[in-house]
Amino acid sequence: MHQMIAPTPPMGWNSWNTFYDQINEELVFEIADAMCELGLNALGYEYIIIDDCWQSRMRDVEGRLVADPEKFPHGMKYVADYVHEKGLKIGIYSCCGTRTCANYPGSFEHEFTDAKTFAQWGIDYLKYDNCHRPESLRTPELYHRMSMALRNSGRNILLAACQWGRDDVHRWIRSSGAHTFRSSIDITDSWNSIANIAWAQLENQAYNGPGCFNDMDMLVVGMHGISINPETNMGGCTDTEYQTHFALWCMMNSPLIIGCDIRQMSPETRKILCNKNLIAINQDPEVRGCYKVDVFQNPDAFILIRPLSGGDYAVGFFNFSDVAADISLHFWDMGLSYHSGVALSFYDCIEDEDLGVVEELLTKKVEAHGCKVFRCTIVEK
């Protein structure tokens, strides 16, 4: 029986946010080593994704993509073998257009050749971008092409459609065979970027499901403005804002693709990215979407509620305002009346503590740009 490639949102690391075009095989090896030494692999972070700028500027005489010989002198299969020996998986980047976003060869009209090449190298994941595509062709056709090529390459390769949320991508992407789809413009290392993406994607929760996930872009957790990428380096966020960012991505079923230099993680960054309680919500086997509950007289705050397997619920309090706010969840807003004979047992997923059984109403003060996330179990009163 064929095994589903992405039963839950993919987890891993990507080179773009921090390293831009300064990538090479030594960096990939060190990241693979760090993934294992820090225990990230044991938490589910399994993909190491090499983004744009890995290629030579021209294809070879047989029309195949070639790795830059200075950055990757041993070739991509050698790099893939090293990553696989660590028990990890490797990802690579291409584009549906004639050139990539950084002006390297794209896969337009080379889809089957490139898919076969990636399979021969041992690639497990393809980030497929949307630059320099012919305007006369519809986007769905171009993603259908690469999906077909990958599915017939002889290897299971995850297709991450980096389509930027254009052309109502959420309405057709699942039928293309892609496993994730970018639903927004690129994220930057700033609170405004995180907040804007989250607000915009609340209405797309219904389009998540096993095998195909709404990708809200890579994580900027822990970057703190330390990046050579002029497109993403916007000064950084506070650890409180990074915690909210991670919690939102977990609650909303986004892939968890780390973008910081994991070799230089602070203790607080590691704590955020290694939160087993939040990861368990993101990786819940039912991968249900969440729904939004408004907060009384506070348009900058909201509550997300998500059914989990086994009858539990994930509940997130989010405060996007610039001042602390009291956020209250009335249990009847999630279908639990006072006369039901049951109450909720709350576990704080961030503080890692049991809050006990609560009836009818829970109120918490949430700091500016902060959050609270709980795992709730229904219990008899």
Active site residue ranges = 129, 186
Query: Distance (Å, rounded) from C-alpha 60 to C-alpha 215?
Result: 33
- Antiparallel, parallel or unpaired: β 256-258 and 301-307: unpaired
Query: Distance (Å, rounded) from C-alpha 261 to C-alpha 275?
Result: 18
Which has the closest alpha carbon to 6: 125, 119, 114, 112? 125
Cβ count near 271 (within 10 Å): 14
Residue 239 Ramachandran class (φ > 0 left, ψ -120 to 50 alpha, else beta): alpha
Cβ count near 259 (within 10 Å): 25
Query: Distance (Å, rounded) from C-alpha 316 to C-alpha 373?
Result: 4
Which has the closest alpha carbon to 110: 162, 59, 53? 59
